[in-house]
Homo-oligomer: A and B are copies of this chain.
Amino acid sequence: MARTDPGEQSRRRRERILDAAFHAFSTRGYRDTAVDDIAGAAETSKGGVYFHFPTKDAIFRELMSTTADKLVAKVERAVALETEPVARAEAALKAVLGTFAGHRTMARLLFLDTVGAGRVFQQETNNLHDRFSRLIQGYLDDAVTAAAIPPLDTRITSIAWFGALNELVARWLLADQPGPLEDAYPALRAVLLRSAGVPETRIGAVPDPAAGSLFPEQPR
């Protein structure tokens, strides 16, 4: 009689809660999001939320890790299309930037609120950042091995890359009326490739962006 498995509906409800939480956390931050808000947005009740998740922070944690999973997968798919080491690094960079450009709230969740959630989540944050920087480090190591770039401290370099990316996205998120995030790509690419010692010839010319397009100067 049932058109859907038993449990199918439950799974759907669970998903609705996650979506609602995702949106709420991204918008208002962890501390400023009440479980009631999530329940309301998911069109269920507080009790309903607690049926599917043991605590508020379990929701947050799950969101953090699945979101990161998605992003990592996306990066890996993009990287797999390239073979040349530097091109692979570029692909990773582009994938990340492109994803955030299209999913402002995802960026917000991953990059802005991790600490905001409080000390409980610092380990979580640590893991997340670690995961990403090690992903980058892997590509850099490959490039070193392939002699595409000189030997260098790939640990520090990958941290620097990730930090640079992070900061750029964060500032873009907080800016009043930012231009498209992708506008920053050429300049960022140049900065990062240079920092890893990629030869200038490989980098090529950097097109001059419409000055100030990404972060218009606000009169203030």
Contact = CB atoms under 8 A, between A and B. Distances in A.
Given A32-B119, A160-B192, A196-B194, A215 B155 contact: yes
Interface string A184-220: 1001101110111100100000100100101100000
Contact of A152 (B118, B133, B170, B190): B190
Nearest to A123: B174
Interface in A64-117: 112-117
Contacts of A165: 163
Interface in A1-60: 28-29, 31-32
Instruction: List the number of copies, as a whole number.
Output: 4
Interface residues of A, number: 52
A126 interface: yes
A157 B115 contact: no
Nearest to A32: B118
A8 to B, nearest CB: 19
Contacts of A129: 167, 170-171
23 contacts: A31-B118, A114-B115, A115-B115, A122-B174, A126-B171, A152-B187, A152-B190, A152-B206, A153-B187, A155-B215, A156-B168, A156-B187, A159-B164, A160-B192, A160-B195, A162-B167, A163-B164, A163-B165, A163-B167, A163-B168, A163-B170, A164-B164, A194-B195
- For the complex of A and B, 10 pairs with smallest distance between CB atoms: A163-B167, A195-B195, A160-B164, A153-B187, A156-B187, A163-B163, A163-B164, A115-B116, A116-B116, A191-B195
Interface of A: 28-29, 31-32, 112-119, 122, 125-126, 129-130, 133, 152-153, 155-157, 159-168, 170-171, 174, 184, 187-188, 190-192, 194-197, 200, 206, 209, 212, 214-215
